[in-house]
Amino acid sequence: MADRDVSIVGLGMTRFGKFIDTPLRALGGEAIDAALADAGLKKSDVDMAFVANSMASVVTGEVSVVGQNILRAREFSGIPVFNVDNACASSSSAIALAANAIAAGSAEVVLVLGVEKLYSADRTRAYVALNGAADLEFLQESKIDPGKESIFVTKIYPPRLKAYADAYGLRAETLAEIAVKNRKHASLNPLAQFTNQITVADVLASRQIVGPITAMMCAPISDGAAAVVVMRSDRAPQKERAVRILASAVGMGASPGDRSSIRRVADKAYKQAGIVPSDVGAAEVHDSIAFNELLAYEELGFCEPGGGTEFAESGATALGGALPVNPSGGLESRGHPVAATGVAQLIELSIQLRGEAGKRQVPNLRYALAENAGGFARDDTAAIVVTILGH
């Protein structure tokens, strides 16, 4: 994608958290207004929009036209609006679609919004919605209570964790250290859901979910919205603050051969961007549980297979380390409003590349990578997006 010269020029995001009484259109509108103001653009400058949402049909009852309803409430009119649902990778998928639309000449200025509400008066709705992102037959065979348990945490992640532990060994303390690191990062992020620092002892003492996984190693449910404005780099109104989309690779699971599905998609992204893993200076990865962050180190080529524990324990992934991972706090602490997560990752990396991250700034950053994945289809991750940003 490097030759397409498409950039993110405006950033807008709500705080992530629990906002039961705040409707989708208010959350989405707040992020849209902030993104346009950051870009120095008006509503009339936008000629296409992609709006990502995954859970509203179950949690709030809003179906099919979430994007149009949010945009009309903000007095947009006439433009084509595309509603995108691709599980946890919804808004990062929307970014890929927006970049392709601009590269194809179908649009010049595109708004991308990810917006989600998981909190409601009936907490079972969030679980039902999240479990709906898994293969229905697998869900039925699992015999879990879909209104009280997450099939991902109880049935999908544990076998992966066990296979890894059997092959390489894995300490619960290492996973706890990842959670502690992400919470420390989140303490520097005013938009994060959880900002109070925690200790390894706190994490290990929190409620056990399954095996070594405890509650503090897991992403919470969240409400929130994140929006960006995307356009051709040479037409950006503030070129010095534009962040180029160098690659956006999208795929699904069931990778042939000996490489994981995420590694296969990452390899496509590295090829598009014309870089190698060692060029990446900061990353946002999909840490729905702490183990998934550790596994991502290996899948993205930041260390060798089996080297994730050593990489995590070396301090390399903390701010001040060689490759800070999840400087925003990640899903575990920044929060995980499903369809907003992908854009939120890119907003954090864009802020970093602009040099505007304050106390969590990664110095001398040239290339940054986001890995966003979600859902479960038959026997593997359903949707995977790896995006690479740079100057």
The answer to whether residue 303 is catalytic is: no
Which residue in 286, 303, 336, 391 is the catalytic one?
336
CA gap 371, 391 in Å, rounded: 19
Closest residue by Cα to residue 319 from 308, 330, 310, 327: 327
Give the residues across from 387 on adjacent strands: 248, 370
Measured between alpha carbons, how far is 193 from 337 in angstroms, rounded to an integer?
10
Taking CA atoms, 231 is separated from 111, 146, 224, 306, in Å, by 9, 41, 24, 40
Alpha-carbon distance values, 201 to 176, 205, 307, 324 (Å)? 8, 6, 24, 23
**163 exposed, middle or buried (CB, 10 Å; 0-12, 13-18, 19+)?**
exposed
Dihedral of CA 84/88/93/94: which sign? positive
Residue from 88, 185, 218, 303 carrying the catalytic annotation: 88
Q: How far apart are CA 246 and CA 237, in angstroms?
A: 19
- Nearest CA among 308, 226, 214 for reference residue 260: 308
Residues for the chain: how many in total?
A: 391
Neighbouring residues of 382: CB distance < 8 A, sequence distance ≥ 6: 86, 87, 133, 252, 253, 374, 375, 376
Q: Which residues contact 357 (CB under 8 A, 6 or more apart)?
A: 327, 348, 351
Question: What are the structure tokens assigned to 326, written together?
Answer: 């999840």
Residue whose pair of structure tokens reads 């590694």 in the numeric block? 263
Catalytic site positions: 88, 336
